[in-house]
Chain A
Amino acid sequence: MNAERSYHNEQKRNRAILLSLLLLLLMLSLLFLFAGRYPKGGFSFPKDLSQNVMMKNIMLNIRLPRILLALIAGAILSAAGFTFQMLFSNPLVEPGFLGVSQGSAFGAALVIVVGNYNSALVQVSATFFGLLALGASYFLAKKFRFGGWLLRLVLSGIAVSAIFSSALGVVKLVAEPTKDLQDITFWMMGGLWNSNWKQILTVMPIVLVCLAILFSYRWRMNLLSLQEKSAYSVGLNPRLDRTVLLVVATVGTTLTISLTGLIGWVGLIMPHLARKLFGSDSKVALPGSMVMGSLFLLLCDTVGRTLLPTEIPIGLLTSFIGAVIFIVILSLKHQEGKA
């Protein structure tokens, strides 16, 4: 009975933490609307907004879309990483490991070089090749006759990533250095400074749908981390569920990185931190990782656009700040039962 009670208390505690994080997210998003470089670097709270056309313009058309992009990108990258980790029963996996990032970068580059730049086409191509890379990693892993499932998956992921990386390299060689190469380079480096309402309004609804789908699976995802037969035995259709979740996670990721370029580290680390904070039950850990991912990317991007007059590349920030947070949280005394 005692154990039951503490289980319920645990659930309550987790819900409370999640809610407070969400609240924090909202407050920070609002606060950071007042951070930037105008009229000076740092925070500025203008007295009369209705008269200050420039400030209003900046807050609504530059900062707001960028903040929204950071929130959504952080959530989906984290959720996709979490999903991959559950599905492949491997806490050290993220879409980038299985060639998804390289595949989508290649897909984008291909369209950029072969045809005229067309946002929609680039995104479709990126998503297609991202999924292709994922499928290739999966099937290769099944064919390998070396080591356990986890090892095979990581190895095939490395192989597929390498293939798409070199394919990307070839495309870059052929690319016209005057224009195409810059687009491709941007993809590889990542940054949120190109965000604008138009881009966000076209892509984000789909990403939100992806997030919603992943969220609805939040308890069942636990079961998909078991061996397939076990998941089947408790009434799931693991093949179908796996496919749906992988496709949704990949589509969400590739669409997002078509706007932001590649941003690493978030999908790998945030799920871990969420599990550390909330426990391994994905019912809470998945939403938790979404909120934490949003917070993290919001923080990184705000620093990147406020600290210096020039933009700091987001990849630099996510790895640096991410590493610090990671070390701090892992060093905290960990409770019994939560590792």
Chain B
Amino acid sequence: MTALKVDNLSYTYPTGTKALCNITLDIQEQSTVALLGSNGAGKSTLMDLLLGWKPSANILLFDKPLKEYGRKELGRFIALVPQSEHYNFSFTLLEYTLFGRAPYLAEMGSPSDEDVHLAYEALETVGLASYAHRSVTTLSGGESQLVLIARAIAQQSKVLLLDEPTSSLDPANRRKVIDILQALHAQGKTIIFTTHDAPFAYELATHVAMLKKGSLLCFGTKERVVTSEMLTTLYETDMTVCSVGGRTLIY
């Protein structure tokens, strides 16, 4: 079943710069898709469009145009893990994760016991349950990223969007994030993430879409599209993909 269908999508900034040109993507449910490309390739813009944050007419979510979804309804289908978040107030981790429950609350309502329980479970999933009462301002960079993921998990959406989820993480935290996302994939979530890190993309994703200067270079299963030639074209620098002892190496 197609989760997200992007049909010949183009996007121009209000300033006149063309960000995306004729993108067509068919993202299947339960797949993990990496949007791969250098900085400025248009990955973030595409993500904004998939989220509905920037308006578009050419995107279908589960066969229904994105535009026709109500705000809260959309929130139940798609969750976002932003690249970073600033914390100006000392919310506890539990309070912060609870924010993810907003799409399920009445207009002026507040979280119920069930919501609290789900938020706590989300924190357990990312391994931060013991910090539930600490303030978000006391978190390290890696822990901060995990909390953002927890919030998105609490949202219980079918689709998860992640913006550069590991770009600022050390190897240990990177590993954690990959494990968590692989577990979510196993549960049936559709995961779409942007990155410029090809090895990371290869490790986590099932499918890869390569974006260069706003255009789609290729899209398909990672085995098919992640080749030395494609990567070299994408990055305009020599890239090699090779298999070593069953593992794929990219450099």
Contacts and interface: CB of A to CB of B under 8 A. Distances in A.
B117 to A, nearest CB: 6
Given A91-B88, A336-B133, A234 B99 contact: yes
Contact of B102 (A3, A216, A234): A234
Given A218-B110, A280-B95, A336-B133, A230 B88 contact: no
Contacts of B45: none
Given A216-B108, A218-B110, A225-B88, A337 B135 contact: yes
Interface string A205-236: 00000000000111110110111011011111
A237 interface: yes
Contacts of A216: 108
B80 A233 contact: yes
Interface in A258-299: 275, 279-281, 283
Nearest to A11: B116
B62 interface: no
Name the interface size band of chain A.
35 or more
A279 B132 CA distance: 14
Nearest to A1: B120
Interface stretch (B70-78, B176-184, B201-209, B229-237): B70-78
A320 to B, nearest CB: 28
Contact of A339 (B78, B94, B135): B135
B51 A233 contact: yes
Contacts of B71: 235-237
Most chain B C-beta atoms within 10 Å of own C-beta, residue among A6, A150, A235, A283: A235
Contact of B137 (A7, A275, A336, A339): A339
Nearest to B117: A4
A319 B135 CA distance: 30
Interface residues of B, number: 47
Interface string A96-108: 0000000000000
A230 B84 CA distance: 10
B86 A233 contact: no
B111 interface: yes
Most chain A C-beta atoms within 10 Å of own C-beta, residue among B94, B105, B123: B94
Contacts, number: 114
Interface in B102-152: 102-103, 105, 108-111, 113, 116-117, 120, 123, 129-130, 132-135, 137, 151
Contacts of A283: 110
Contacts of B28: none
B89 A280 contact: yes
Contact of B78 (A6, A233, A338): A233
Nearest to A148: B86
B139 to A, nearest CB: 12
Contact of B99 (A222, A232, A275): A222
A233 B75 contact: yes
B129 A229 contact: no
B100 interface: yes
Contacts of B80: 229-230, 233
Contacts of A44: none
B134 A337 contact: yes
A142 interface: no
B107 to A, nearest CB: 8
A223 B82 contact: no
B53 interface: yes
A232 B69 CA distance: 13
B91 to A, nearest CB: 5
Contact of A230 (B48, B82, B111): B82
Contact of B108 (A220, A230, A336, A339): A220
B41 to A, nearest CB: 19
Nearest to A4: B120
B27 interface: no
Contact of B90 (A150, A223, A227, A338): A338
Contacts of B76: 235
Contact of A280 (B73, B91, B102): B91
Contacts of B161: 233
A288 to B, nearest CB: 14
A226 B102 contact: no
A227 B148 CA distance: 13
Interface string A146-158: 0000100000000
B82 A229 contact: yes
Nearest to A222: B99
B85 interface: yes
Interface in B149-183: 151, 155, 161
A165 interface: no
B99 A7 contact: no
Interface string B174-218: 000000000000000000000000000000000000000000000
13 contacts: A3-B130, A6-B133, A7-B120, A89-B88, A150-B88, A232-B51, A233-B51, A233-B79, A234-B79, A234-B99, A280-B89, A280-B91, A281-B91
Given A7-B120, A229-B48, A230-B85, 20 more contacts: A3-B120, A6-B133, A7-B116, A7-B133, A90-B88, A91-B88, A91-B89, A216-B108, A217-B108, A222-B99, A227-B85, A233-B78, A234-B99, A234-B155, A279-B95, A280-B89, A280-B135, A337-B135, A339-B90, A339-B135
Q: Which 6 A-B pairs have the closest CB atoms?
A: A235-B75, A235-B103, A233-B80, A3-B132, A235-B72, A234-B102
